[in-house]
Each structure stands twice: as structure tokens, then as C-alpha cells.
Amino acid sequence: MFIVSLLFLLAGVIALIVAASNAKARVVAAGETPNGSAFRRGTNVIISRAARWAAVVLFVIGATLLAFTSFFRQDVGQANVLRDWTGAIVGYETAPGLHWKAPWVDTVTFDVRNQRAVFVTEQSFGEGDNIGGAPDGPQITVQDAEGVTANIDIAIRYSLDPDSVIDIYSAYYNEENLRTRLIFNDIRSVVRSVPGRFDTLEMLTDRDSVQNAILEALERRWEDDGIIVEDVALQEIRYGESVTAAYAAAQEAQINVQTEQAKLEAVQISAQQKVVQAQAEADANAILNASLTPAILQQRYLDTLKELAAAGNLVIVPEGFSGLVNVAR
């Protein structure tokens, strides 16, 4: 745009030169003989006026374009690298709004909002991934610690550090090169290497640990590249049919073992409860027997006689008899 504005201004200068040249020619024509001088004067007047108007229009257009090239607008979530016409970096801008720059300075825009990289199983043409949109690549094939092969569908959310856009520009020139040369390659590499720390059962049952390990590995890989890992979504881990069948059988066997163990524990608990209950009853009886001294038994005997007599019963107590005989009246 800066070069275009200069061309318009240069054209305006040429138009002024043409206007001045024809104005001088008109003066010369006025001093000639009457034959033909009027025609030449009229022609020169038309050319001179047209050139002046053309110069004005060209200057206005050139100045307008020059003014536009002196400002740039930046949206929220963007960062711009500023470079001059020689390609040298002169600064960067991260704040949204309207900003001034030298007319000969150009901007390279980077998106610093959340972005994603998705790698899923091969799909039909035009079919999107399972979180919407087109995938960035096919599923990633990995091997776990036991050497068993699996296919992984994964989605990575990341963003660019606004203060690192100069380094990113210096290394990759633009955002597309950053994605294809660094981000996508690193994702494939990390996702292939991390499952080697987990065995097959862990891969199938502890997806969160695998997911966190991938996130931490990417953070270490990108900590000096100005890339921030926002989230890792391990969408699916697919093993072969033989592996999944064996896993299902193992799961069923484990469930059966747990069920039988639960039954055994229930029986043991019931038996323990009975032992505890019997022991409690024995302890209670022992305490009761220990508390029933001859004096207490004699007192309870007398209290019982009183209660029977108070109720109108005839109580016969033979000499030396410690029991009771109730005789109805």
C-alpha cells in the first residue's frame, strides 16, 4: 500500500510538470503570428487545466493511501509483528485498538486466542471430526509398554504467547508454517512416545493419567517456543479386537472374583457379629451371676413374697423351703 501511495504522488508530480509545461507553451504561442496561434493556445490551455486537475486528484488519492498505511487496527486476541520495507523487525503490538506506524512499516498478524489441533480416525470426504470441524490429521498409531499397538484420537487446545510473536516470526515467518512445521509434528511425536510408559491395562483403564502425561510432555516441549498448552482431550483409545476381547474377559473374571469376595466378606462379618453377640451375652450373664450374692437373692425372695401378699395371694412357706407355691383362694 505504501508503494502504491508513492506511485500516486509521483503521478501527481508528473501531472504538475505537464501542467506547467503546457502553461509555458501557451505563453509562447501567444507571441506567434495570428495564423494558428489561437488553436495552439486553446490546446495548451485544455492540457494545462486537465493536468492540474489530474495532479490534484492524484495527490488526494496518494495522501489518503499514505494516511491509511500509517495506521492499523488490531482485534482482541491478535498480536502483530512490525517490519519495515527491508524485512527488518521494528517491534510488535499486543493491545487491541487503532495503532500508528510508519507508512513503510508492514504488519504480520498472529492469532493468540485458543486454537486446536485434532487428529482422529480416517473419515469419509466432507465428514468432520467428533467435536465439529475438519481434522488436522488422521488418528495416531502408538505402542504401549507391552508392545501392543493402538490407535488414538486426540484434540489439543493451545494458544500463542503474545510476547513471543517476534521469535515465532523469526523462526517460522507465519502461523501456518508454525502449525505444519512444529505444532503438528510435535503432537504426533509426543502422542507416540508417551504410551510407552503405560501397559495395556493402564491404557484402557487409566485414561486420565495418559492424558495428563501427554499434556505435561507437550508443555515441556513447547516451553521455549511461545506455545501454551490449554487442554488435552484424549477422545478414544482403540485396540484390536483380540485385545479388547481379552480385556472384557479379564474384566468379567475380576467382577466375579470381587462378587465372591464380597459374599465371603459378608459371611465372615455375619459370623463375627454372632461371635460378638454371643460373647456379649456371656459377659452379661457372667456379670449378672457375679452380682447375685446370697444376701441379694434373699432380699429379692422377700420382695417377691411381699408383692404376692399385697396382691391378695395366699403364700405358704414351709420351713426350710426356698421356693414359692401359689394357692388360689
pLDDT at 273: 75
Nearest 5°: the CA angle 109, 110, 111 is: 125
pLDDT at 142 over 50: yes
Whole-angstrom distance, CA of residue 202 vs CA of residue 211: 12
Higher pLDDT, 30 or 291: 291
pLDDT at 320 over 50: yes
Give the pLDDT band of residue 307 (cuts 50, 70, 90): confident
Whole-angstrom distance, CA of residue 326 vs CA of residue 313: 7
Percent helix, percent strand, percent coil in the chain, to nearest 5: 55, 20, 25
Alpha carbon of 196 to those of 25, 86, 142, 208: distances in Å? 89, 48, 8, 15
Highest-pLDDT range among 12-26, 131-145, 156-170, 305-319: 156-170
Give the pLDDT band of residue 125 (cuts 50, 70, 90): very low
The amino acid occupying position 273 is Q
Question: Which of 226-230, 248-252, 320-324 has the least mean pLDDT?
Answer: 320-324
Per the structure block, which three cell numbers stand in for 36? 494558428
SS3 of residue 249 by DSSP:
helix
Higher pLDDT, 71 or 50: 71
Alpha carbon of 246 to those of 5, 235, 239, 258: distances in Å? 73, 22, 11, 18
| Run of H or E residues at 314 | strand 314-315
pLDDT at 131: 52
Three-state helix/strand/coil letters over 44-57 = HHHHHHHHHHHHHH
pLDDT at 243: 75
Q: Which residues of 240-252 are buried (b: 16+ CB within 10 A; e: fewer)?
A: eeebeeebeeeee
pLDDT at 71: 78
| Run of H or E residues at 284 | helix 241-291
Alpha carbon of 175 to those of 3, 18, 81, 192, 229: distances in Å? 26, 48, 12, 24, 16
Per the structure block, which three cell numbers stand in for 253? 473374571
Q: pLDDT per residue over 206-228, tens digit each?
A: 899 999 999 999 999 999 999 99
**What percent of the chain stands above pLDDT 70?**
62
Whole-angstrom distance, CA of residue 232 vs CA of residue 119: 12
pLDDT at 32 over 90: no
Q: pLDDT per residue over 177-201, tens digit each?
A: 999 999 999 999 999 999 999 988 8
Per the structure block, which three cell numbers stand in for 19? 501542467
CB 117, CB 191: distance < 8 Å = no
Residue 70 CB neighbour total at 10 angstroms: 16
